[in-house]
Amino acid sequence: MENGREYLSILTESLKKKITILDEILLLNQKQLESVSGNEIDDDLFNEIIDKKDIYIKEINNLDKGFEQVYERIKSEITGNTDKFSSEIAILKQLISQITEKSMEVQLSEKRNKQAVLKKMSEEKTKIHQTRNANKVASNYYNNMNKVNYVEPQFMDCLLYTSPRP
């Protein structure tokens, strides 16, 4: 029976680590939003944040796998003795509730970041289009202005015109 408490302690620690990681992801999402919100996108910071989030997501997946494995070991013991482990189960339920809330916060912040990135990309695309148009107009202007002072060769028929004398 003491093994059950040890395993429940492991599950509790796993959930606490997951909460800590979700908090870190929320902070990274805020930094990511800030990196996109300025005049220019800070590519290095943006990519660094994505790399860190990828590491955290892998760590969460590993924690989830470990949690499931440990839970499968003690599932029958816990369900058979719910009153004996009621305080530990209550703590697990509370932690799972916190994880659910934080997961939803992460999803919302990811959605906000995606919208901000799409908006920034649209703005950049518009700027590029405007720059191309401005370059094209300037090029046409300079080409036309260069032609203003240029007189193409012309053929002149020179006939001596003599007017009758009075």
d(CA 83, CA 79): 9
pLDDT at 59: 97
pTM, 2 dp: 0.74
pLDDT at 156: 58
> Helices 2-37 & 43-80, crossing angle to 10 degrees?
160
Sequential pLDDT tens for the chain (166 residues): 467 789 999 999 999 999 999 999 999 999 998 888 877 777 788 889 999 999 999 999 999 999 999 999 888 888 888 888 889 999 999 999 999 999 999 999 999 999 988 888 888 788 887 778 777 777 776 776 666 666 666 665 555 555 566 5
d(CA 137, CA 91): 68
DSSP for 105-132, written as a single string:
HHHHHHHHHHHHHHHHHHHHHHHHHHHH
Which residues, in sequence order, are CB contacts of 109 under 8 Å at separation 6+?
Answer: 26, 29, 30, 33
pLDDT at 1: 45
d(CA 14, CA 6): 12
Residue whose C-alpha is closest to residue 46's, from 135, 141, 113: 113
d(CA 140, CA 132): 12
DSSP annotation of 163 reads P
Residue 149 backbone zone (phi > 0: left; psi -120 to 50: alpha; other: beta): alpha
Residue with tokens 């959605």: 111
Phi first, then psi: give them for residue 156, nearest 5 degrees.
-115, 130
pLDDT at 154: 63
- What's the half-sphere exposure (Cβ side, CA atoms, 13 Å) at 66? 16
pLDDT at 131: 78
